Amino acid sequence: MSQADIVEGSNASKEPAPNQGGRKAIIAAASANLAIAVTKAIAWALTGASSMLAEAIHSVADTANQVVLMVGGKESHKEADEDHPFGYETARYLSGFIVAIVIFTLGGLFALYEAYDKIEATLGGHPDELLDSRWWWVPLAVVMISMCAEGTSLRTALKESSQDREGMTILQYIRGAKAPELPVVMLEDSAAVVGLIFAFMGVGLTLLTHNPVFDGIGSACIGILLVVVAGVLSREMKSLLEGESATPESRKAIRDALVSSDGVDSVIYMKTVHLGPETILLAAKIAVDPTDSALEVARIIDNAEVSVRAAEPLVGPLFLEPDIRYGDARIKDGEERPEDQS
């Protein structure tokens, strides 16, 4: 007869330590984006530059992203209850998915629409406000200032993630990270810098050639960039929402801890899943001596739990099922494992 040890206690309702690095990066990015959005909107109002409007929407979307991420982070710290026995940590993954699907996609589509409208108006012979405005230099100044602010925000995110990245590229870190906040901020800040380059080229070429089509093309490039970022983020957040296993390093540490625990002969199978960035759910079937008493099996499971939690502190809810490995020579003649009986 198999026995399950369901270990919840403080782990099912524990409140994970806040990701201070991610929080600092989010606040820095939100502050920069809010200020930048206002200056870009002013530049668009003065000159009518399409690229400035697209970039203003981009910055508004980024600011909304940080708000959603902070709300998701706060929600994830709620204690587990009867309806949510494993807690609310998936709220952080959901907030990242909302950022990708809703905000980035809508921002990108709006920028593409603005680009279409600008190019159509230019080809239709309508006069361009940017070329006729005495404030033509404002968009270029705003872009330069914004690059400094976005560069600072990106540098903050890179600094806060440097210990976790350990030589990985930004893309590798984004694909492997279990916490959504820093990867989202890093990706959106990188996209912001590239978007500003597109805006600078669009406005600059328009002023040099007196052809407003370049302004529309710059806006289109920003829109495409936002849609691409939305695709990358949604793919990664979708994978986290579906339930990713622990890292290979964590799985090895857990397995080694189980095998080395007194009374555990081997691990028959083991499954892990991230309930959130700081919580791993573990379910494993361990082989024990068929001659062990129920009391001895209970002791073995308790010791195994202690070993696992010492080896991998992120393990939260833990389910250990003792069993007898098929073909165990210690099974007495005439006895069979329950599942082997017909």
Say yes or no: 294 and 320 in one domain: yes
Domain membership of residue 126 (yes or no) is yes
Predicted pLDDT at 287: 92
Q: Is 246 helix (H, G, I), strand (E, B) or coil?
A: coil
Q: How many folded domains does the chain comprise?
A: 2
Its sign, for the CA torsion 299, 302, 305, 310, is negative
Chain centroid, CA 147 distance in Å: 24
Say yes or no: 227 and 283 in one domain: no
Say yes or no: 90 and 207 in one domain: yes
Domain membership of residue 221 (yes or no) is yes
Domain membership of residue 199 (yes or no) is yes
Domain membership of residue 3 (yes or no) is no
Say yes or no: 197 and 313 in one domain: no
Say yes or no: 163 and 79 in one domain: yes
Q: Which amino acid is at 269?
A: Y
Orientation of helix 213-242 relative to helix 181-209, angle to 10°: 170
Predicted pLDDT at 139: 85
Full domain range(s) for residue 116: 17-242
**pTM for this entry:** 0.71
**Which residue among 205, 223, 242 closes a domain?**
242
**Which residue among 193, 209, 242 closes a domain?**
242
Q: What is the CA radius of gyration of the chain?
A: 27
Q: Residue 328's domain is classified under what CATH number? A: 3.30.70.1350
Question: How many whole angstroms separate alpha carbon 284 and alpha carbon 282?
Answer: 7
Other C-beta atoms within 10 Å of 163: how many?
A: 8
Predicted pLDDT at 192: 82
Predicted pLDDT at 7: 37
Q: How many CA atoms are closer than 13 Å to the CA of 173, on its beta-carbon side? A: 22
Please name the helix (run of DSSP H) or strand (run of DSSP E) that holds residue 275, with its range, or none. Answer: strand 266-276
Backbone φ/ψ region at 246: left (φ over 0), alpha (ψ -120 to 50), beta: beta
Chain centroid, CA 7 distance in Å: 28
CB 44 within 8 A of CB 111: no
Q: What is the pLDDT along the chain (342 residues), one digit of tens a residue?
A: 333 443 344 344 344 444 455 566 677 667 777 888 888 888 888 888 888 888 888 788 778 877 888 888 888 888 888 888 888 888 888 888 887 777 677 778 888 888 888 888 888 877 767 767 788 888 888 888 888 877 887 787 777 777 777 777 777 777 777 777 777 777 877 888 888 899 889 888 988 888 888 988 988 998 898 888 888 888 888 888 888 889 889 999 999 999 999 999 999 999 999 988 888 999 999 999 888 899 999 999 999 999 999 999 999 999 999 988 766 555 555 555 555 443
CB 192 within 8 A of CB 59: yes
Q: Is 85 helix (H, G, I), strand (E, B) or coil?
A: coil
Domain membership of residue 24 (yes or no) is yes
Question: Beta strand pairing status for 266-276 and 315-323?
Answer: unpaired
Predicted pLDDT at 12: 40
